């Protein structure tokens, strides 16, 4: 069957810690390998014509992890972009982010902002990093901004779904079509609550560091076979 390509794929990249532990490595080694997987999957998605790939790299709850692990995760964007920026550019990939990056060390913020800026003219895949991101927080911030615009008479008090959606961090991106979570957990964990309203969920036991193009193709094959009705009949 010819693959139906999702416009937007969102991934909860779970299992880095368990992957590392199984190999007698520190959890951080799993995160590093996980960052390499992002590169592989982004390039493959771009080649397939996916419009956007959103990856959950750091949740608003991840601050509760040990300091050493948080520090490492904060350093990963520098490692990632130092190593892969040229390749991302060659592939016409555009980097964006979701989340409140102000809470990160200034160096991490600058690395992310610079990646966004350097790729802003690109027209291929949008690679969207969710960092210090939480779905409820996103909706709360959108409500706050909307309320402010009502006060300023820039928005209608009779709030409409489409108008409100424009206050989300993904404003000009398509809704998520396919949501993948790796490593056997069956939860949404506060990831893109608004955007996942009608997405197809796919769970795999494969840990994120082991996820590859074969797994991606399997996920898209499964998505292709699903019957999406959006609440209607067919």
Separation between Cα atoms, residue 177 and residue 220, nearest integer Å: 10
Interface region with ligand FPP, contact rule CB under 6 A, candidates 13-21, 85-93, 144-152, 189-197: 13-21
Please indicate whether residue 14 is annotated as part of the active site: yes
Q: What share of the chain is helix, strand, coil (3-state, %, to 5)?
A: 45, 15, 40
CB burial class (10 A; 0-12, 13-18, 19+) of residue 85? middle
Of all residues in the shown chain, the one whose CB is closest to ligand FPP is 17
Binding flags for ligand FPP, 28-47, as an x/- string (CB under 6 A): ---x--xx--x---------
Separation between Cα atoms, residue 2 and residue 45, nearest integer Å: 16
Residue (4 or 18) nearer to ligand FPP, CB: 18
Q: Which of 15, 99, 134, 135 binds ligand FPP (CB under 6 A)?
A: 15
Shortest Å, Cβ 63 to ligand FPP = 11
Separation between Cα atoms, residue 79 and residue 228, nearest integer Å: 39
Whole-angstrom Cα Rg for the chain:
18
Query: Residues binding ligand FPP: what is the number (CB under 6 A)?
Result: 17
Residue (47 or 82) nearer to ligand FPP, CB: 82
Distances (CA, A) of 204 to 47, 72, 184: 23, 26, 6
Using CB under 6 A as the binding rule, whether residue 75 contacts ligand FPP is answered as no
Using CB under 6 A as the binding rule, whether residue 77 contacts ligand FPP is answered as yes
Using CB under 6 A as the binding rule, whether residue 134 contacts ligand FPP is answered as no
Q: Chain centroid to CA 180: how far? A: 10
Using CB under 6 A as the binding rule, whether residue 206 contacts ligand FPP is answered as no
Residue (149 or 210) nearer to ligand FPP, CB: 210
Separation between Cα atoms, residue 40 and residue 137, nearest integer Å: 30
DSSP string, 89-116: HHTT-EEEEES-GGGS-HHHHHHHHHHH
Please indicate whether residue 107 is annotated as part of the active site: no
Q: Maximum distance among all alpha carbons in the chain?
A: 59
Shortest Å, Cβ 57 to ligand FPP = 4
Using CB under 6 A as the binding rule, whether residue 110 contacts ligand FPP is answered as no
Q: Which of 62, 110, 122, 190 is catalytic?
A: 62
Using CB under 6 A as the binding rule, whether residue 96 contacts ligand FPP is answered as no
Residues of this chain that bind ligand FPP (CB under 6 A): 13-18, 31, 34-35, 38, 57, 62, 76-77, 80, 129, 208
Active site residues: 14, 62
């Amino acid at each position: 069957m010819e693959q139906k390509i999702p416009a937007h794929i969102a991934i909860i990249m779970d299992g880095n810690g368990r992957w590392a532990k199984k190999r007698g490595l520190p959890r951080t080694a799993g995160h590093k390998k996980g960052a390499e997987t992002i590169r592989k999957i982004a390039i493959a998605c771009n080649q397939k014509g996916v419009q956007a790939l959103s990856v959950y790299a750091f949740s608003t709850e991840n601050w509760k992890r040990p300091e050493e692990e948080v520090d490492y995760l904060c350093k990963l964007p520098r490692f990632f972009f130092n190593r892969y920026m040229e390749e991302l550019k060659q592939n016409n990939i555009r980097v964006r982010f979701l989340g409140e990056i102000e809470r990160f060390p200034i160096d991490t913020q600058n690395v992310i902002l610079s990646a966004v800026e350097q790729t802003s003219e690109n027209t291929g895949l949008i690679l969207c990093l969710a960092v210090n991101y939480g779905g409820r927080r996103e909706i709360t911030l959108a409500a706050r901004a909307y309320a402010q615009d009502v006060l300023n008479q820039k928005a209608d008090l009779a709030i409409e779904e489409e108008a409100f959606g424009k206050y989300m961090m993904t404003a000009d991106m398509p809704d998520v079509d396919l949501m993948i979570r790796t490593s056997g957990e069956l939860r949404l964990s506060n990831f893109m609550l608004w955007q996942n309203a009608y997405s197809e969920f796919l769970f795999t036991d494969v840990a994120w560091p082991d996820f590859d193009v074969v797994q991606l193709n399997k996920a898209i094959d499964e998505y292709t076979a699903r019957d999406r009705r959006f609440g209607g009949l067919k």
